[in-house]
Structure 1
Amino acid sequence: MPLTVDFGFKLNDYNIVEDTIQSGDTFGSILEKQNLNGNQVYDIVAKVKDTFDVRSIRKGKPFLLLRTKDKTNKLQAFIYQPDRLNYYIVDLRDSVVAHKRTRPVKFVTKTIAGALNGSLSETLQNLKVDPALAPKIAKIYAWSIDFFKLQKGDKFAMTFTERFINDTIYDGVDSLKATYFEYKGKKIYAFPFSPDGSTGKQQYFDEEGKTLKNFFLKAPLKFVNITSRYTKSRFHPVQKIWKAHNGTDYAAPTGTPIMTTASGVVEQAGYTAGNGNFVKVKHDRTYSTQYLHMSKILVRRGQRVTQGQIIGKVGSTGLATGPHVCYRFWKNGVQVDALRLNLPTSTPMDSKLKPKFMEQMLPLKKVLDSVSDVKFRK
């Protein structure tokens, strides 16, 4: 049998019990099953309390018992793992002592390029990348890309770091260092940078140092599909007539949160036969947005709302065949297609910081572009 070393022990030397904390288990009840009486358990708890609070054990978390291989099966150590990275050892071999240990972590940087085939999560999974990266990317691009408008074959590339515990145990994506997505025929880059060195808080900028944050989010929902886009004429599914559809429909299950795409004041909140439950938000003198067919309204007229705030829930009230939100957009009092607007951006990067940003960004962009060139070279 090959030698197995873990938690600082030669595991081959012990009779091992592996289990998880069950409902009703306590540190004391586990040890008492190992032929330790109540007084012995009390002494152990008292000696380890400064390092290991035995009350912190939680249902479902794994633990190991290391016992002697002789007929006594005497308990030598209790090892508790609150997560994959950290563990506690209660060592009973010579004298009772507790240790908290953290496994070594290695960070590996990877750059990939690909084309959408299904959802972003599915595409990443097919590329052997943690699909949990998808919502992080969507959040970064929430102001710049309507992910519901991306199509099969749209290209992207990204550089990210992955965590490995003990060199071999995969522990997910740690950070996104650089990425681009093709959107409306243009590469939209995103690079993290901290404009405020005192806080270290990162924002995302494109290759010219322009912030990705805009005055408006690109969509009022997360992780859903567009069912129909802005058009001057469509066959209305309820009224059975051809008419203009001055909005963008986002299908989603009933109860899905609806976000206001920009800060402003609730101008209207109510019900009409066509719109169902709806909210209209005035953002400034130029722009207003409206959200139709809600199952529930969560704001009131005159209320100030902030970008991304939940203002209602998806429903199918009014003239609607299924649960969705119809997103409408006004500019200077005229209803327009939100998907085609070049909307105002936030404050640009301070010119004094741009040289430092460019120094960090250019090598990352070069790697992205070189991997893309190899992947998509004809």
Structure 2
Amino acid sequence: MLRILHSLPRTHKLLLLPVATMVTVLGAQKLLTTFNDFSTPTTSLESVLVPLPAGSRPGVPSLRHAQTPVADVIGRASRALDATREHIPLNDLTATEIVDLDVIVAAEASIAAQPTEDTFVPLDDGALHMAMVVGTLASNTFDSPPTQSTLADTSVASDSEIGDATSYDDYAIELGTFDDISFLNLELAAEETFVPEWATHIVASGETFAILAQNQLGLGYSQVLELLANLPDQRLLTHWQAGQSFDYKLNAQGELLSLRMMKNTREGVLVEREGSQFAVTGIQRHGEPVQRLYAGSVSGSFARSAQATGLNSGAVTELTRLLEQKLDFRRDSRRGDRFQVLLESDMIEGETLDSRVLAVQYEGARMDLTLVRNLTDNNFYTPDGSSLDPAFSRYPFEGSYRLSSNFNPRRKHPVTGRISPHNGTDFAMPIGTAVTSPATGRVERVGNHHAAGRYIVIRHDNGYRTRYLHLSRPLVGRGDRVEMGERIALSGNTGRSTGPHLHYEVIVNNSPVNAMNVELPENRSLNGESLEAFKRQTQPIMVALQSGETGTISVAQAGNDEEDEG
């Protein structure tokens, strides 16, 4: 009995302790008395007979066949007791629940008929019920179900074998008695310390922080105003949108201890209670840089082709602006041109942020171009260190020629006499004088106009455009690539002109500027130690581009692999 109680969970032990105590003092002694009375030959028996199916045989109430919870044990004992009071349908019983109850009935009758000084008061229904529960528990209810071999061995055991069975172990020493209940672990647990935990609140439509703070965060109205006053940006808590969320912790009294809200994935604020005040700290998250290689081919517009590789819109915009300094997509790109883009992003909690182009390689029918970002100055260069902003000459010719008409947006036209902007600079020079390109670029247009005469338009690598009017003869064609100082035309006197001269224009951001005083880019190519450092940085990037393996890569690992091969 004690071994069974010792094996039960603490909750069941506490529930059964008063029951076991009562039954031990009253019920167990009564059961032994009634059993002794039953053993006398003068006792008359009455049996409750329940018909059984063919092949069944009655037995004592035993629940050894299943691991039955305490609640089921009590239920089974109740059903057995009810069988003495009213009829229970046969289909509601199982073979192991059918018990000969005449023992209890006969014992009660015998005690009532022959009272003695030593006779105990008969058990009432409640005590009888408890006694049956304990008796059921004492039959090893919670042991493993018997195997067929075990049942077979029990059925053939002889009376002598059963009579000789005994035990020489002193269980009282091992288990103690009910006077010593230390095995039940009834010591009172110390009061647990309150540990505040983070909880998340999702903003509902129409919800405001001022009301929520008073209703859910335990703040008074004055505390709310004080907290908002300490925030670097009050709109973080006053301009909520449904679906936003913030984290918070409360103390044991339900008062705000900490509040954390992110403005975006990178930035946020942390509010912490310090006595009766609140301290506000900014949150800055730094992600882990991750590189990924994208590759595709031109089919239609370049922007759509780039987006088809998986590049986000920001990266496509940066890439387009970068390549436009060297490439005119409308005229120079061809279907089937291939490109590769190495993109670097910051990874924070599975989200990619602040994507930036590290390198791009374009292989086209009309131009091949490779550009790499220099992390030192954040500018792009060719792998040999040449800048995208090469030197730009002030004058588009060699030698010295007189400036015959300045740049003047309010000038009167010399022929018509009306106000007509003069968006260029005129140089008087003999017909047939060589005109040179002031910087590298590509010829965008060659044409003839009734007022401008023969003309040329060049788009340069730095994004500037230049125009040359009143030419006698162009020396280049549309789409030609020209270098700084290369001859592009011969001066003349075509179109609406008062004499031989060259009309020269510089256009920046689609607006004409004064070519004689506009700030022009200087040669920014790398050299010396800066060039050597750039080449070391570029080495693993070039390996990644040449591999052509799209997806997430490690630029540092690519560089190490190449060094190992070397």
Q: TM-score range by the shorter chain?
A: 0.5 to 0.7
In structure 2, the partner of 1:55 is: 234
In structure 2, the partner of 1:312 is: none
- 1:369 CA displacement: 1.9
In structure 2, the partner of 1:160 is: 343
Corresponding residue to 2:261 among 71, 80, 95: 80
CA distance in 1, matches of 2:539, 2:290: 20
In structure 1, the partner of 2:297 is: 115
- 1:188 CA displacement: 0.4
In structure 2, the partner of 1:18 is: 203
- 1:55 CA displacement: 2.9
SS of residue in 1 equivalent to 2:389:
coil
- 1:339 CA displacement: 3.2
Range with bigger deviation, 28-37 or 127-136: 28-37
CA distance in 2, matches of 1:117, 1:69: 61
Bigger relative contact order, structure 1 or 2 (CA pairs below 8 A, ≥6 apart) = 1
SS of residue in 2 equivalent to 1:137:
helix
CA distance in 2, matches of 1:177, 1:80: 32
Corresponding residue to 1:101 among 283, 287, 303: 283
SS of residue in 1 equivalent to 2:289:
strand
SS of residue in 2 equivalent to 1:161:
strand
Opposite residue 53 of structure 1, the aligned amino acid is P
CA distance in 1, matches of 2:541, 2:388: 17
Range with bigger deviation, 155-164 or 77-86: 77-86
Instruction: Verify: 1:169 aligned to 2:326, yes or no.
Output: no
SS of residue in 1 equivalent to 2:383:
coil
In structure 1, the partner of 2:503 is: none
Instruction: Verify: 1:211 aligned to 2:211, yes or no.
Output: no
Corresponding residue to 1:125 among 307, 328, 334: 307
Give unpaired runs (5+ residues) of structure 2.
Answer: 1-195, 393-405, 414-419, 428-434, 439-443, 446-461, 486-521, 551-566
Give unpaired runs (5+ residues) of structure 1.
Answer: 1-8, 195-199, 217-264, 291-306, 310-326, 374-378
CA distance in 1, matches of 2:426, 2:387: 20
CA distance in 2, matches of 1:202, 1:15: 40
CA distance in 1, matches of 2:426, 2:262: 50
Opposite residue 18 of structure 1, the aligned amino acid is V
Q: What aligned pairs does 1:141-152 form with structure 2 within 5 A after superposition? A: 141-149=323-331, 150-152=333-335
- 1:112-132 per-position Cα deviation (integer Å, ceiling 9, x unaligned): 222123434433332222231
CA distance in 1, matches of 2:239, 2:426: 48
Q: What aligned pairs does 1:234-249 form with structure 2 within 5 A after superposition? A: none
In structure 2, the partner of 1:303 is: none
- 1:350 CA displacement: 4.6
SS of residue in 2 equivalent to 1:191:
strand
SS of residue in 2 equivalent to 1:16:
strand
- 1:5-52 per-position Cα deviation (integer Å, ceiling 9, x unaligned): xxxx965xx362335998xx6x64653464643223245457xx2xx3
Counterparts in 2 of 1:206 and 1:76: CA distance versus 1, 3 Å = same
Counterparts in 2 of 1:210 and 1:269: CA distance versus 1, 3 Å = farther
Instruction: Verify: 1:330 aligned to 2:476, yes or no.
Output: no
- 1:68-90 per-position Cα deviation (integer Å, ceiling 9, x unaligned): 699x9765543332222122122
Instruction: Verify: 1:342 aligned to 2:486, yes or no.
Output: no
CA distance in 2, matches of 1:44, 1:60: 16
Which structure features the higher share of helix residues? Answer: 2
Q: What aligned pairs does 1:276-291 form with structure 2 within 5 A after superposition? A: 280-282=423-425, 286=436
Indicate conservation of the 8 Å contact 1:78/1:90, yes or no: yes
In structure 2, the partner of 1:180 is: 361
SS of residue in 1 equivalent to 2:532:
helix
CA distance in 2, matches of 1:65, 1:191: 42
Indicate conservation of the 8 Å contact 1:115/1:156, yes or no: yes
SS of residue in 1 equivalent to 2:321:
helix
The structure whose Rg is larger is 2
- 1:283 CA displacement: 10
SS of residue in 2 equivalent to 1:339:
coil
Instruction: Verify: 1:358 aligned to 2:535, yes or no.
Output: yes
CA distance in 2, matches of 1:183, 1:280: 35
Indicate conservation of the 8 Å contact 1:214/1:343, yes or no: no
Opposite residue 55 of structure 1, the aligned amino acid is Q
Task: Provide TM-score, normalisation by structure 1.
Answer: 0.54
Counterparts in 2 of 1:129 and 1:143: CA distance versus 1, 3 Å = closer
- 1:109 CA displacement: 1.1
In structure 2, the partner of 1:319 is: none
Opposite residue 213 of structure 1, the aligned amino acid is D
CA distance in 2, matches of 1:269, 1:60: 53
Q: What aligned pairs does 1:25-40 form with structure 2 within 5 A after superposition? A: 28=210, 31-32=213-214, 34=216, 36-40=219-223
Instruction: Verify: 1:371 aligned to 2:548, yes or no.
Output: yes
SS of residue in 1 equivalent to 2:484:
coil
Which structure features the higher share of strand residues? Answer: 1
CA distance in 2, matches of 1:73, 1:66: 11
Opposite residue 78 of structure 1, the aligned amino acid is L
What is the Cα-based RMSD across aligned positions, in Å?
4.6
